[in-house]
Amino acid sequence: MEWWNIPRRGWIIILGELAVIIGLGGWVYAEYLNNSYFQGYVNSLSPILVPIVSVGFGVASATAATVLYFTMRKVRRKEGLDNEDSARRRGSERKTVKKPQVSSPRSERGSKAGIAMLPRPKPVIAAGSSAKRGTVQGSNDDEDESG
């Protein structure tokens, strides 16, 4: 059952509960502001009350986020299945008319592959680089060019 399918009687109950919660919350807040004994009691509970309320709020938020995530995922999957079914129906109609595919000649494919297969040129090593002493840098290049 989706939230928009809740009957009118259910909405009336939900809104009535919300009004009672807001009314009681306002009453407790007004009592706190006007009653010094209640202020002392709440202030003595604050080292215990604040962490409990914080953890409770975190758990409630995580629960709400998880429920919303799984609900939306379920709705998306259901819509996805509906879209796939309609696409299958449309696809079967489209499959009756098939266009021939034009393939490119092999000579074009070979020329593209030939360019990619060329070896990369070797970088030129400057005299101040970290080459080993006693070796000639140009001798390796001569051998590569001849072979």
pLDDT digits (tens, 9 = 90+) for 98-133: 666 666 555 555 555 455 566 677 777 766 555 556
pLDDT above 70: residue 68? yes
Would 82 be classed as within a structural domain? yes
What are the distances in angstroms from CA 76 to CA 72, 85, 90? Answer: 6, 14, 20
* C-alpha–C-alpha distance, residues 88 and 95, integer Å: 10
* C-alpha–C-alpha distance, residues 50 and 28, integer Å: 16
Given 75, 93, 111, which residue is the final one in a domain?
Answer: 93
Number of domains into which the chain is organized: 2
* C-alpha–C-alpha distance, residues 92 and 82, integer Å: 16
Would 119 be classed as within a structural domain? no
- Both tokens of residue 102? 């034009």
pLDDT above 70: residue 61? yes
